[in-house]
Amino acid sequence: MALRDYRMDNLRCVLIVLVVFCHLMVRFAWGPVTGTLYQVIYVFHMPTFVFVSGYFARWRPAKVVRNLLIPYVQFQLLAVAYNDLLAGREPLSNFTLLVPEWTLWYLLACMLWYATCPLLERARTQQDRLKVVGIAFVASILAGCIPWIGKTLSLSRVFAFYPFFCAGFYAGKLRASQIISSLSRPQLWQARLASLAAVAVLMALHFAHGAAPAVVLHRSLPYSSAWDFVARTLLQLAACAWCALLLVITPSQELAVVSEVGRNTMSIYLLHPWVIHLLMLLHLSLLPNEALQLLFCAVVTIGTCVRLGTDRVSHMVCWWNRIGMHQPGRTPSGQIPTDGNRRPSQDGIRWVDKRKRTS
């Protein structure tokens, strides 16, 4: 028996919507509001996504091959062939698996992060786990100083986002979502206000010297100046605060369409770039003002996520998930394993032992 963690499903829905919206906004909108939204969203949406990935991460080589390597190779082939055709080259003449195309960096990075899970498992105590996250945090900042680090193997992003993966991994061990659900209402509001205050302070510092350069926001290339080092540090701290805030404000109940989209983010992540390619081929980027451009991006984002985030579409697109799906003991991502003598309580989070008699 397995129980879904709807808090994480709902959070993944919010994050995938922001991912799609940002990718559309970069190509179909421009102006001061667009620039500010871009700066704010890029602070936290991918770090939090990586945190959620770490939350459910387990090192199972067969599962990594099935759920990450197979889709990575498949969609890398499609993306390289498409780009070669647009450039007038022979299809797949420049094919490589070492430099992922556009959004596919995340799949490659996840494979590398998952491979470290056995090492992360060795940290048994809270003190040791905090040390691991701290070391990963420092490495994420120092990695930008390496001049050759970049998009090959997504190494720059692998290092930059790794502390969030580690934090998510250990939060999953602690069942952090259930701990949040067990907080009293005053405690929950205290956590929300503290997180909000941290976000406000760190975002103010982040914007104190103007907009952060793209190299800092994307975390995909080495630093181009000494200020980038400081900006990356503030960015990472702000992302931590945002992650904490999103965890404590996301509801833990199942929310129909929201939760369904949240459990089917892979199909959205893989297919939404092709929706954008289609829109660009149709030249739908000539709207007259920024308000209409952002409205267009929002409408397309919602439509894309709702249509591609259904169980039916996910079942068709993510065909590799059906490989070995009847193996005993397999627990899908987003589900919490339980044993046969425990059933979920009404809030969908805690468990009640069926062997205990009720008075």
Per-residue pLDDT at 321 exceeds 80: no
pLDDT mean over 147-163: 91
pLDDT mean over 282-304: 87
pLDDT mean over 45-61: 94
Q: Extract the runs of DSSP E, i.e. beta strands, from 273-350.
A: 335-337, 342-344
pLDDT mean over 312-318: 85
Per-residue pLDDT at 343 exceeds 60: no
Task: Name the region of 108 (left: φ>0; alpha: ψ -120 to 50; beta: rest).
Answer: alpha
pLDDT for res 120 = 95
Please name the residue that has the structure tokens 């984002």: 301
pLDDT for res 288 = 81
pLDDT for res 246 = 96
d(CA 34, CA 26): 8
d(CA 211, CA 224): 15
Mean pLDDT of the chain: 86
pLDDT digits over 66-106, tens only? 999 999 999 999 999 998 888 788 878 788 889 999 899 99
Q: How far are the Cα atoms of 56, 200, 278 from residue 259, in angstroms, in the given order? A: 16, 28, 27
Q: In a 3-state reduction of DSSP, which class is residue 86?
A: helix
Q: Minimum mean pLDDT among 16-20, 89-93, 159-163, 283-287: which range?
A: 283-287
Please state whether beta strands 2-4 and 335-337 pair in parallel, antiparallel, or not at all (unpaired): antiparallel
The amino acid sitting at 172 is G
Q: Which helix (H) or strand (E) holds 3?
A: strand 2-4
pTM of the entire predicted model: 0.87
Structural domain spans, the chain: 2-342
